[in-house]
Structure 1
Amino acid sequence: MDLNRVPLAGLRAVEVVARRGSLGAAAAELGVTPGAVSQQVSRVERIFGVPLFERTPAGMVPTALGAEVAGHLSAGFARLAAAVGRGFDRSEARLTISAPPLFATRWLVFRLARFGAENPGIQVRLQAETAFVNPDQSDIDLCVRVGRGGWPGVRAERLFAHRMFPVCGVQNAARLQRPADLAGMPVIRDAHAMVDWSVWLGPEGLSEDILAEGPVFSDAGLCMDAAMTGAGVFLAWDALVHDQLERGTLVEPFPGKRRATGLAYWLVSGAEGLRRAPQRAFRRWLKAELAASGLVE
């Protein structure tokens, strides 16, 4: 088939939809509307004369042919991304980092100036996002992600464990002398929490039934801020509240009782690893900063 008959944007849409599983997720990655992605996919299907996806309530499921085509496209776009990357003038060192919003805004951003001072020739761009990104298929150089690892097609280096523990404002610390005292405190809850209180209460021989009601927020950063005001106790994690604990605006009432969740923070790079000097410099700097913060086991 003449490649010129098939629009490149349509092939890109097919690849992303197959990989992400829905029009909405693909649209978010491509920076367009779901309707635009749907039109591109339908256009390619009309050119091929066969469907590449089954439209289901759960999302877009590739047909056998669609999965085969998408696999070739993923490999092809990865090679295109590598070619484009090599085409840029790397003498002007640029580094694009993707990190979870709360890690970026509550820990990383306050330390980036030190990286710039130590590496004045490297221009850093920081993107705050949670969706998994393959650096070989985007303009991202390195990702920090929370999960269990094992992502296909990338290299992932474990940085530190994700650990949960209660925190509260200074005004409430005296009320929490032992874990059972949680029964008398309002509990601040994150509506989108990945981990519930059972991870921390279980090893203490306690049940979530002892916990009182309290305010609910859609963002863990708001939960942390509410805890600082004395609104209650919040189940937080290391990177989120490290600086507030250091400043004394939050208190860890039960020191020595941080519980691993099975998740971890990872530094994710492309399949070839850290090919560029700026990537290696950022890795060295990040690990040193994590160690200085006491986050590395």
Structure 2
Amino acid sequence: MAHALPPLPAVRAFEAAARHGSFTKAAEELGMTQAAVSYQIKLLEERVGAPLFLRKPRQVTLTELGQRLAPTFTEAFTLIGEAYAAARSGAEGVLCVSTILTFASSWLARNLGAFQMQHPALAVRLDISMRLIDFAREDVDVAIRSGSGRWPGLVAHLLFTPDFTPMLSPKLAASIGGVKVPADLLRLPILDPQDHWWREWFTAAGLATDALATRTGSSMGAQAYEASAAMAGHGVAILARTLFADELADGRLIQPFDLVANDGNSYWLVYPEARRNVPKIRAFRDWLLTAVPASLGKASA
């Protein structure tokens, strides 16, 4: 049995007025007069059987019922707009991926060509940032972030959980006759000693973490920068092993100990629940969830 629907022009007028908090601004957006917007909203209120706005001089506010309806109507129009855009373009246009620097430089930039060969009509734009993206306000399609995977309103797909361990250049290790036991690290400069990864690893290695408290060092803000400093011989970095497999394989970095640790956080692909079926997002998701485990699995092996 089909559901009874209110007049869509009335719903559109209500949604715009609720979003702007103004009949006048809704009228400007919809190309209508304020009187026409007011009429459409009155028509919807008659169908619902209750007021949706409290009308005051120079101000309108949503009633409790209006507050319940407005988010659902906004989401419905968003879905309709995205479905229409998807039907017109398919997996084409521009895909904006927000990601942190280390994943972008250590994995995504090296592998993105394979995705673009599969989808030549889709251009990828990377937005490198540590901040959390507001998908409702920013022109970003998907994000790759580190954390627990619990972000309200977002779908989160696990990519991998990084194990971290100290790494340094062979030349720096040789400067003290080699790094043979964890305590040898205290004889060398430590990059970003306040990084909580160091405390996690020191604890696992049986070293006192108070040795880190007295250390001074720059905070570089990204593993990619710390890895570069470590390869230049400026100190020991604590890095995600799977993201620097190439540097380990060619000898630019060495991992002196088999011991690794993790803090329970993982890398995730995230995007709004309502956009899960947009073709360009679906195409990138399907590729990424296959490519990351395949390449990082080989790196771990």
The residue aligned with 1:86 is 83
SS in 2 for 1:235: strand
Partner of 1:275 in structure 2?
A: 277
- Give me the whole-angstrom Cα distance separating, in 1, the residues matched to 2:253 and 2:71: 46
| Conserved? CA contact 1:144–1:267, under 8 Å | yes
Q: Which residue of 1 aligns with 2:162?
A: 162
1:268 positional shift: 1.1
Structure 1 residues 296 and 147 mapped into 2: Cα distance closer, same or farther (>3 Å)? farther
Aligned residues of 2:100 and 2:144 also touching (Cα < 8 A): yes
- Matches of 2:25 and 2:242, distance apart in 1: 44
When residues 241 and 76 of structure 1 are mapped into structure 2, their CA distance, relative to the original with a 3 A threshold, is farther
Give the CA RMSD over aligned residues: 3.4
Q: Distance in 1 between matches of 2:271 and 2:300?
A: 19
The structure whose Rg is larger is 2
Shift of the 72–102 alpha-carbon distance from structure 1 to 2, 3 Å rule, reads: farther
Q: Which residue of 2 aligns with 1:263?
A: 265
**Runs of 4 or more off by more than 6 Å in structure 1?**
none
Name 1:41's counterpart in structure 2: none
Deviation at 1:74, TM superposition (A): 5.6
Structure 1 regions of 5+ residues with no counterpart?
A: 9-45, 51-64
Q: Is it true that 1:213 corresponds to 2:215 in the alignment? A: yes
The 3-state SS of whatever aligns with 1:108 is: helix
Q: Choose 108-117 or 270-279, whichever is displaced more.
A: 270-279
**Which residue of structure 2 lines up, in the alignment, with residue 114 of structure 1?**
114
Q: CA deviation at 1:79?
A: 4.1
Q: Is the 8 A contact 1:6 1:47 kept in 2?
A: no
Q: Which amino acid aligns with 2:126?
A: L
SS for the counterpart of 1:219 is coil
Secondary structure in structure 2 of the residue aligned to 1:130 = coil
Closer, same or farther: CA 91–155 of 1 in aligned 2, 3 Å: closer
Cα deviation for residue 219 of structure 1 reads 2.5
1:103 has 2:121 as partner: no
* Aligned partner letter, 2:286: R
Instruction: Give the aligned partner of residue 140 of structure 1.
Output: 140
Question: Cα 1:81–1:288, aligned 2, differ >3 Å: closer, same or farther?
Answer: same
**Structure 1 equivalent of residue 204 of structure 2:** 203
Contact kept, 8 Å, 2:189 with 2:236, in 1: the verdict is yes
After TM superposition, the score normalised by the length of structure 2 is 0.67
How many residue pairs get matched?
242
Q: Following TM superposition, by how much is the alpha carbon of 1:231 offset from its aligned partner in structure 2, in angstroms? A: 1.0
| Residue identity (%) | 27
In structure 2, the CA distance between the partners of 1:238 and 1:151, relative to structure 1 (3 Å rule), is same
